[in-house]
Amino acid sequence: MTCIVIDDEDFAIQHLEKLIQKVPFLKLINSFSDPTEAVIYLKSNTVDLVFVDVEMPHALNGIDVIKLVGSGPKYILTTAYPDYALEGYDLEVSDFLHKPFKFERFLKAVQRVQNNIELIEKSSQPTDNHIFVKSEGNYIAVYFEEICWIETAAERNYISIYTQTERLLCHLSLSDIITKLPNTLFSRIHKSFVVSLTRIKVINKDKNTVGILRQEKVNELSVGESYRKSFYQLIDKKVIKKDK
C-alpha cells in the first residue's frame, strides 16, 4: 500500500517515516512539508494512503488538501488538535491520529485502511466470466477474456464488440454494456471506445493513444481528453517504478 506524508514539522515527518518502515505492507513514496506541493503531486500521481497534518502555517491546511485532491486516496489525519476530528469524519477520512501517538495506535489505523481497500477490490472483482449479447437475432455468449475492445458502430444506436475471432454488432450503447463489465478488466478511454486492459500492448502518452493487440496486429485507438486523467491514473498503478 503506497503512502505519502504531509506535515510542516520535520520531527513529525521523521516520526511517521519510522513507523511506516515498521509495517511490511506500507511503502512510503514521498514526504512533504508544504501542502501545496503535496496537492500538485497528488494531482498527477496515484497513492493509496495520505497521512496529513491538519494545522499547518501555510495557505492550505490538511482539510483543504483533502477537499482539493478529492476521494482518490484514503486519508489519515494526524494532529494535536482533536477539534478537527468531526470535520475530518464529515470528509470520510479513514482515521484520526491524535498527536502524540504510539505505534500500536498507528498500526490499528493503517490496518483499517488496508482492510477497507481489500474489501473494495474484492467486491469489484467479477463474479462471472461472461455476458450474453443479442447479435443478428441470436444470444451470443461473450467471454471477458476474449474481448479486445468495444466501440460505437457506424450504424446508429449500435456497438461493435471486437474479440480475437469476430466482430459482433449489437443494438446497444457503450453506457449499456460498460455497467456489465468488471472495472478491473475494462476501461472507457473515449466516448466511442471501451478497451480490455489485458489486451493493451502499448500506450503512447504523447499521442494519447493505446495499441490493442488483435489477431497479431496492434490496433491504435485514441484516448479522449475527458478520460485521460482517470485512465492514466489506473495505468500508473500497474507501472513498475524504480525505488528512489
Residues 130-236: name the CATH superfamily.
LytTr DNA-binding domain (2.40.50.1020)
Residues 2-123: name the CATH superfamily.
Response regulator (3.40.50.2300)
Give all strands (DSSP E) within 33-84, no chain letters: 49-53, 74-79
Q: What are phi and psi of 100, to 5 degrees?
A: -80, 145
- Report the alpha-carbon distance of residue 121 to residue 79 in Å, rounded: 30
| Same fold flag, 2-123 and 130-236 | no
Domains of the chain: which residue ranges?
2-123, 130-236
| Reported pTM | 0.53
Q: What are the grid coordinates assigned to 33, written together?
A: 512539508
Which pLDDT does position 90 carry in this prediction? 64
Which pLDDT does position 138 carry in this prediction? 86
Q: Classify the phi-psi angles of 208: left when phi > 0, otherwise alpha if psi is within -120 to 50, otherwise beta.
A: left
Which pLDDT does position 241 carry in this prediction? 76
CA atoms within 13 A on the CB side of 166: 8
- Among 153, 149, 170, smallest CA distance to 220 is for 149
Cis peptide before 100 (omega within 30 of 0): yes
Which pLDDT does position 143 carry in this prediction? 93
Which pLDDT does position 187 carry in this prediction? 95
CA atoms within 13 A on the CB side of 86: 1
**Mean pLDDT of each 10-residue bin along the chain, 244 residues long:** 94 96 95 95 92 87 89 87 63 85 94 84 66 88 94 87 94 90 93 95 95 93 94 88 68
